[in-house]
Structure 1
Amino acid sequence: MRLPFVALLALSLAACGDLELASLDASVPTDAVTPRAVDATPFDAGPPPADLEGFVDWQMRAGGIRGLAAAITTREGTALTMLRGEASEGVPVAEDTLFVLASISKTFTGILVVQLVEDGLLDLDAPLDEYLPYAVRNPAFPDVPVTARMLLTHTSGLRDQLTVLGMASTAGTDPDVALSDFSRDYVGVPDHWDARPGAQYQYCNAGFAVLGALVEAITEQDFRARSDARLLDPLGLDGSGWFLADVDVSMIATPYSWSERRGFTALQHGGYAFYPAASMRASIVHMARYARAVSRGLELDGVRVLREALATEMRRVPFPEIAGDRSLAWEIETIRGRAYMHHSGATNGGATLLYVGDDGVSIIVLTNSDAYIRSRFGLREGADALREIVLRLDSEADALVRE
């Protein structure tokens, strides 16, 4: 069964990046907020409560967000965990609830690609034709090579064709098209290419499928197996995974859409043949560990998954004149003098945010909400609520971590 076209629209969109985060510091008190389902009584549009739990619950009600898990972390540990609302009907969000990360998944794929550089198997600036058994060229510019660095920064000239992504998507099951087949077939269609490679920024989910196929071709290893061996297991992210078959499905938060008229509508979990762009499922505990590892140069608990120099290279912006602040699978933002690595995610019943500050303080928000999809149609209440929640968490980080 194929997902509705509109559900796939969000997969081609870069998530919102207009949040202002204050400078944070790095001492480590620990706090945890008790989970509680959002009140089901009619919403009172008065001012939000002053206390953190009440404020977040109010924003969730205002924004049509069913469930939320959030955390503030430092390089040393987790300073605060919040669990609010419902993972599914009558089931509160818990620390081990899994959320689909949507486009935050691209940061995992980026690490797996750069690990190939560390292993001496890949030159990020070499033509992909040298590694893949098929041509990766824009037919309009056949003499211009496409490189992994271009795909990682969305500057390859490859573009998303939403109807094709829809046909490569399934509802309720894992994808039924191999990653290698999807990649080969996708790059072979002239209409899937646009600008001259290296000349223009154009956000592209399909490009990360090509990167996943690149990992498979070079290593002769399944992308999911490679992810487990080189990233998820070393960082202690046990229970996270790319496919429904890789995780405990009963622990995945039900995706929801919301409308003022109908309220919440449960949706099916999705599968995508281009899964390295969008399909990672992880809990707030997993993401707290991941954020800490990123903040520590991709080392955690004495285990290093990428050489520190290459972790630093992932922060560098290679094409500022055409791709703004896009680094390798991340976006770099400077807020009030502090730079941080950032990615957001928007998909069918999932809206997520990850900020990793240069001071080591991270803010993570995971939801089973269609907030960002709605925002693309002018319905801003969900996106605005998430922005307010992140700003409030930033304020809490000032109090928890800086003092």
Structure 2
Amino acid sequence: MEPILAAAVPSVASAAVALIAVDGAVVASAAVGELVRFATADFELAAVRPAVRADSVFDLASISKLFTTAAILSLVEEGVLDLDAPVAAWIPGRDPRITLRRLLTHTAGLQPTRRIDLELPAASFAERMAAIVDTPVTSEVGGAYLYSDVGMITAGRVAELASGLPLDALVTQRVLKPLDLTATRYRPASAERVAATEWKQERGGIVRGTVHDETAYGLGGVAGHAGVFSTAGDL
């Protein structure tokens, strides 16, 4: 199977670029914790687009939720947080049925997202966060799965309040440093190796080096649902 995969991965990566399914691709494969290979698209297929390298940095979008979850679970393990306690202990006024477990499993009855940047264009990041975590329940709490960025943002805010640290510092301390993920962070210091994500007229053109998610951007680039940047190697 390994020889088949070794031959197939470069072809698949190249085909994705050729079909404009992606603008560039880096594929990393690992087995039992050991890096097996990197593959990038053939040069001829990607010649008209910026080169993507093994150390290129990508906006991880919703993969950021895994980093938030890992940080929260480390706090649960230490007894700082309780998955089944009402988050109202940290965010007064919240529906008492909402718990971290329900936030992390997308069963808290919260809407999928909020364009808080459009709702409160003149507000500070802190004011926008306060509005997000006060989002009313719109469906059955503890009911059907409903993927919710609002829920993950709220969970990240609970982690901040419980730990006394901003979310990016908390994730760095409890996830990135223990795993030696040196190329992973929120808000990259330089856009030099960062792959562009998209064109947004309201942000002056190509988005590169800042989080593409509008809600995370409206919260300053760090949020429980999005904002992490990393490389294929770190992942």
TM-score (norm 1): 0.48
CA RMSD, aligned part only?
A: 3.1
Structure 1 residues 76, 241: CA separation in 2 closer, same or farther (over 3 Å shift)?
Answer: closer
Partner of 2:23: 66
Residue pair 1:84, 1:92 contacting (<8 A) in 2 also: no
1:251 CA displacement: 1.3
- Cα distance in structure 1, aligned partners of 2:120 and 2:71: 23
> How many equivalent pairs are there?
217
Structure 1 residues 52, 227: CA separation in 2 closer, same or farther (over 3 Å shift)?
Answer: closer
- Cα distance in structure 2, aligned partners of 1:73 and 1:226: 27
1:119 to 78, 81, 89: 78
Structure 1 letter corresponding to 2:93: A
Structure 1 letter corresponding to 2:175: L
Secondary structure of 2:82's counterpart equals: coil
Residue pair 1:67, 1:85 contacting (<8 A) in 2 also: no
Kindly report which structure 2 residues correspond to 1:141-152, keeping only aligned pairs within 5 A, or say none: 144-152=96-104
1:109 CA displacement: 0.5
1:161 CA displacement: 4.3
Secondary structure of 1:285's counterpart equals: coil
- Cα distance in structure 1, aligned partners of 2:174 and 2:115: 33
Structure 2 letter corresponding to 1:164: I
Structure 2 letter corresponding to 1:73: A
Secondary structure of 1:230's counterpart equals: helix
1:89 CA displacement: 7.0
Identity of aligned residues (%): 24
1:54 CA displacement: 3.7
Secondary structure of 1:135's counterpart equals: coil
1:184 to 130, 136, 142: 130
- Cα distance in structure 2, aligned partners of 1:88 and 1:101: 24
1:276 has 2:235 as partner: no
Structure 1 residues 129, 89: CA separation in 2 closer, same or farther (over 3 Å shift)?
Answer: farther
Structure 2 letter corresponding to 1:208: M
Question: Relative contact order (alpha carbons < 8 A, sep ≥ 6): 1 or 2 greater?
Answer: 1
- Cα distance in structure 2, aligned partners of 1:224 and 1:107: 13
1:215 to 115, 137, 159: 159
1:232 CA displacement: 0.7
- Cα distance in structure 1, aligned partners of 2:144 and 2:170: 31
Partner of 2:93: 135
- Cα distance in structure 1, aligned partners of 2:195 and 2:184: 13
Structure 1 residues 248, 150: CA separation in 2 closer, same or farther (over 3 Å shift)?
Answer: same
Structure 1 residues 116, 63: CA separation in 2 closer, same or farther (over 3 Å shift)?
Answer: same
Secondary structure of 1:203's counterpart equals: coil
TM-score (norm 2): 0.79
1:55 CA displacement: 4.1
Structure 1 residues 166, 91: CA separation in 2 closer, same or farther (over 3 Å shift)?
Answer: same
Deviations 1:134-168 (A, max 9, x none): 2222xxxxxx5100000001100111344336557
Secondary structure of 1:217's counterpart equals: helix
Structure 2 letter corresponding to 1:113: I
Structure 2 letter corresponding to 1:279: G
Partner of 2:233: 285
Q: Structure 1 unaligned runs (5+)?
A: 1-23, 34-49, 138-143, 170-174, 258-265, 288-403
Structure 1 residues 196, 185: CA separation in 2 closer, same or farther (over 3 Å shift)?
Answer: same
Structure 1 residues 209, 73: CA separation in 2 closer, same or farther (over 3 Å shift)?
Answer: same
Secondary structure of 2:40's counterpart equals: strand
Residue pair 1:73, 1:79 contacting (<8 A) in 2 also: yes
- Cα distance in structure 1, aligned partners of 2:12 and 2:143: 44
- Cα distance in structure 2, aligned partners of 1:208 and 1:88: 39
- Cα distance in structure 2, aligned partners of 1:166 and 1:73: 41
- Cα distance in structure 1, aligned partners of 2:86 and 2:47: 46
